Amino acid sequence: MPPRVHMILLSLALAAGSRAEAASLNTLLTEKGTMIALKGEITREDANTLEILIRAANAHGGAVRGLQLDSTGGNLIGGIRLARLVRGHGDLSTAVVHGATCASACFLVFAAGREKFAGHTSFIGIHGAGDKLGRVTEESEEATRAMAHLCKQLGVPSPITEKLIATPPGEIVWLSSEELQSMGASLIRDPIDSAQGSRSLNMRSDLIAKP
């Protein structure tokens, strides 16, 4: 990432989710294997926490299969770091289960999954970047272009990327089932891998020492 873009991203948070509760990451043992659930506002530190949880799960003999997402957004560089971590692991899926939301910076993480799953009652949305007050500035426009570039790298179809660029930070476009399928997402008709009915492995992120 060019230094100027990196500095711009460090100073920006996406407007959506700016007042949301900070994200929690919890490791769950489901019928389909070990999953990590991310819920709440994305922060810059979440990628480090996710990496720690993946290593902890591996140490317990339960390779992590994927990441469940329920977030309205948050810090943009945090979302980029998470997306790169998910894509870097290569075999991680992403899921937005029934009733959950994944918007703004969270969309980048969703797009990074090797396999992507979306519940029929989930909401997955996109918009461009704004500053901490939700305003469009020269720096936020450059951040939006960085988001669009990452989306292209993650295989997001250009019509969706164009909507992201065109949608101001104070608005949001919710993607249709057809649009989600165009980016390779599978639609879930019945709740799967949800936190309900799953057994916690007692690896909550707030109980793990940060390096």
Q: Positive or negative, the Cα torsion across 62, 64, 69, 74?
A: positive
Residues 135-163: tens digit of each pLDDT? 889 999 999 999 999 999 999 999 999 99
pLDDT computed for residue 33 by the predictor: 77
pLDDT computed for residue 201 by the predictor: 35
Q: Does any domain span residue 103?
A: yes
- Between 11-20, 57-66, 84-93, 101-110, the lowest mean confidence (pLDDT) is in 11-20
Q: Does any domain span residue 36?
A: yes
Q: Does any domain span residue 210?
A: no
Q: Does any domain span residue 211?
A: no
Is pLDDT at 72 greater than 90 in this prediction?
Answer: yes
Q: Does any domain span residue 187?
A: yes
Q: Long-range contacts made by residues 59-64, C-beta under 8 angstroms, separation at least 24?
A: 60/201, 62/29, 62/33, 62/34, 62/201, 63/33, 63/34, 64/27, 64/33, 64/34, 64/35, 64/36, 64/92
Question: Stretch 186-190: mean pLDDT, rounded?
Answer: 82
Write down the pTM of the prediction.
0.81
pLDDT computed for residue 141 by the predictor: 92
Q: Which two tokens stand for residue 56?
A: 């902890």
Give the residue numbers spanning the domain of 86: 3-204
pLDDT computed for residue 193 by the predictor: 42
pLDDT computed for residue 175 by the predictor: 97
CATH (domain of 105): 3.90.226.10
- Read off the pLDDT band of 206 (50, 70, 90): very low
- Between 28-32, 84-88, 164-168, 199-203, the lowest mean confidence (pLDDT) is in 199-203
Is pLDDT at 7 greater than 50 in this prediction?
Answer: no
Q: Does any domain span residue 91?
A: yes
Q: Does any domain span residue 183?
A: yes
Task: Provide the number of structural domains found in the chain.
Answer: 1
pLDDT computed for residue 63 by the predictor: 85
Q: Which two tokens stand for residue 196?
A: 């309900």
pLDDT computed for residue 57 by the predictor: 87
CA atoms within 13 A on the CB side of 109: 37
pLDDT computed for residue 16 by the predictor: 38
Contact call for residues 72 and 135 (beta carbons, < 8 A): no
Residue percentage of the chain with pLDDT more than 90? 63
Q: Does any domain span residue 124?
A: yes
pLDDT computed for residue 190 by the predictor: 56
Cα 186 from Cα 110, distance rounded (Å): 12
Is pLDDT at 51 greater than 70 in this prediction?
Answer: yes
The residue type at 119: G
